[in-house]
Amino acid sequence: MRASARIIAGIAAVVLIATAATAFAIAWRPAIATIDPPGPQAFDTALVKRGRDLAAIGNCSDCHTLRGGKNFAGGLPVSTPFGTIFSTNITPDPDTGIGRWSEAAFRRAMRSGVNREGQHLYPTFPYDHFTNVSDEDDRALYAFLMTRQPVRAAPPENQLSFPFNQRLAIAGWKLLFLRHDTHRPDPKQSAEWNRGAYLVEGLAHCGACHTPRNALGAERVSAQFSGGDVDDWHAYAINEQSRSPVPWTADALFAYLREGWHPDHGTARGPMAKVVSNLSSVPASDVRAIAVYMAGVSDKPASARAEPNEAALARAGRAAQTNSAGASIYAAACASCHEGRRPLPYSGVNLSLSTAISSPDPRNLANIVLSGVDAVEGERSPIMPGFAASMNDEQASALLNYLRARFSEQPTWTDLKKTIADARRTQAVFLQTSPGPRNAPADPQQREKP
């Protein structure tokens, strides 16, 4: 977060405290009585199964499981502009988890961001989306979580500065930003579209990453899906401002969300890798619905980039006319795979189609070039070596400039060196917390026959 934003945030927070104090009466929430942990037998298996799929759509494990840690036991540090918040234990452990929560307490948390004891939860838990989840789906999620392995593990204390460490402040935040029922079915649209809208606006909480946030960390409704920040990565614009050289279609989105890659768009990386990994195991119809809905959001490319696929593809063959250092690095370090004759995703995307190279924000490209793509244990998955050790900042920016000039029509990035230096600093952190991408199987259809 930039310094100016921090100041604005501070001022706003003070105002917020005042507001919150006066709102104390309406902010107060009662505790909900504890229950005896019901035990796994208490739940219908079909319901649990349904809950498993929903939990995957909600990407619950991503925040509530530490890399290499116990499933759903929490403890993952989420850094925000206001400090570090640790995810909670949502296993049915009676003391440190949600074992003593009734379904009503669980539903209240999902709907209103209040825990069983009546405390307000930080909006890093995206209840501004989960509020849209139906009772029925909350029941299934509850059944799923209550049948997990209980793990005794209390998350570390949050590290927040005043006034953000005041839970009451959250009540004020909610007053300003939490809207219930933001999703209403649209009778003019198909059932599939409506299903997609329900998931995207609700459980899948796509906007949590892909919508920019205001100074108080709330999504800017007016700029929905125009790109956001997450874990030192840029979450691309997925509305009409998308810089994807080839516009997204429902089919492409479906394949991408399910398989983790698409020939016109490349492979899911960074935090998105875990999302697609989860979506690979849920019913295809739900992923299809998400794709159909999102295709509607993104199918109007901004005129500046409304360019036919052929032109984008043709650029791939364009001769390098920029810096020779970048060209040499590219030839030895990149071309052997990206111009190799493997099928996707194992050859890496055709760089002319790379959103990372066309994006206004070079962070993702810097992250990928420096850190590479790790193998997924025991599964077929793309591997890309990281170049952090072999390229200094100068060399990395020569390469990135070269890629930008050769594979996009976009203007040169400014401040590239700083982006690279930042990426170098943060990559270590990211590598410890982010899970690997999922298996992306070779599709024989994709293979070019000679």
Partner 1 sequence: MMTLKVNGREHQVDAEADTPLLYVLRDDLKLNAAKFGCGLGQCGSCTVIVDGQAVLSCVTPMVLLEGKQVTTLEGLGTIAEPAPIQRAFMEEQAAQCGYCIPGMMMRAQALLQKNSKPTDEQIRAELEPHLCRCGTHMRILRAVHRAARLMDTADASTTAKGSAR
Partner 2 sequence: MNGPMMLDRRRVLAGSGALIVSFSLSSALAQQHDAPATAAPNPPGSLKTSPYLDAWIRIDANGAIEVFTGKAELGQGFKTAFQQIAAEELDVAFESLKVTTADTRLTANEGYTAGSNSMKDSGTAIQNAAAQVRALLIAEAARRLDQPEADLRTENGAVIAPDGKRLSYGELVAADMLHVQAQPSSKLKDPATFKLVGQPVPRVDIPAKVTGGAAYVQDMRLPGMVHARVVRPPSYGAQLTECDAAAVEKMPGVVKVVRDSNFLAVVAEKEIQSIKAMNALAAAAKWKETASLPKQDDLPNVLTGLPSQNTTIFERGDPAATGVKTIEAIYTRPYQAHGSIGPSCAVAQFIDGEMTVWTHTQGVYPDRQGIAEMLRLPPASVRLIHVEGSGCYGHNGADDAAADAALIARALPGRPVRVQWTREQEHAWEPFGPAMVTKLKASLDGNGRIVDWNFDVWSNTHSMRPGGAGSLLAAQHMTQPFAVPAPKPLPLPEGGGDRNAIPFYSFANARVVHHFIPAMPVRISAMRALGAYHNVFSIESFMDELAALAGADPVEFRLRHLDDRRGRDVIERAAQAFGWKADQKSAQDRGYGFAFARYKNLAAYCAIASEVEVNRETGRPRLVRAVAAVDSGQVVNPDGLVNQIEGAIVQSMSWTLYESVTFDDTRITSIDWQTYPILRFNAVPDSIEVHIINRPGQPFLGSGETGQGPAAASISNAIANATGKRLRNLQLTRKRIKEAIDA
> Which contacts (CB < 8 Å, 24+ apart) does range 43-49 have?
43/143, 43/146, 43/147, 44/143, 47/139, 47/140, 47/143, 47/144, 48/140, 48/143, 48/144, 48/147
Window contacting partner 1 (CB under 8 A); options: 19-27, 91-99, 320-328, 418-426: 320-328
390 binds partner 1 (CB under 8 A): yes
Angle at 87 between CA 84 and CA 92, to 5 degrees: 160
Q: Is the CB of 102 or the CB of 328 nearer to partner 1?
A: 328
91 counts as binding partner 2 under rule CB under 8 A: no
Task: Please tell me the distance from the alpha carbon of residue 398 to that of residue 325, in angstroms, as a whole number.
Answer: 7
Among residue numbers 142 through 171, which ones bind partner 2 (CB under 8 A)? 148-149
398 and 333 Cβ atoms separated by less than 8 Å: no
390 binds, among partner 2, partner 1, none (CB under 5 to 8 A by kind): partner 1
**In the complex, what is the shortest distance from the CB of residue 163 to partner 2, in angstroms, rounded to a whole number?**
37
Alpha-carbon span 109 to 115, nearest angstrom: 5
**Residues within window 327-346 making contact with partner 2, judged by CB under 8 A:** 341-343, 346
Among 303, 377, 389, 411, binds partner 2 (CB under 8 A): 377
Looking at residues 22 to 81 of the shown chain, list those that interact with partner 2 (rule: CB under 8 A).
49, 52, 61, 65, 71-72
337 labelled ligand-binding = yes
Two tokens at 314?
Answer: 């043709």
Look at residue 450 and give the partner it binds from partner 1, partner 2, none, a contact being a CB closer than 5 to 8 Å depending on partner kind.
partner 2
Q: Euclidean distance between the first and final Cα of the chain, in Å?
A: 50
Question: Any contact of residue 230 with partner 1 (CB under 8 A)?
Answer: no
Between CA 192 and CA 199 the distance in angstroms is 11
The SS3 of residue 160 is: strand
CB closer to partner 2 out of 30 and 444? 444
Q: Check whether 334 is labelled as a binding-site residue.
A: yes
Find out whether 437 and 276 touch, Cβ atoms under 8 Å: yes
Helix axis angle, 45-57 to 135-146, nearest 10°: 100
List contacts with partner 2 (CB under 8 A): 49, 52, 61, 65, 71-72, 148-149, 281, 341-343, 346, 375-383, 439, 442, 444, 447, 449-450
List contacts with partner 1 (CB under 8 A): 324-325, 327-329, 331-333, 336-337, 372, 374-375, 383-385, 387, 389-391, 395
Annotated binding site: 60, 63-64, 206, 209-210, 334, 337-338
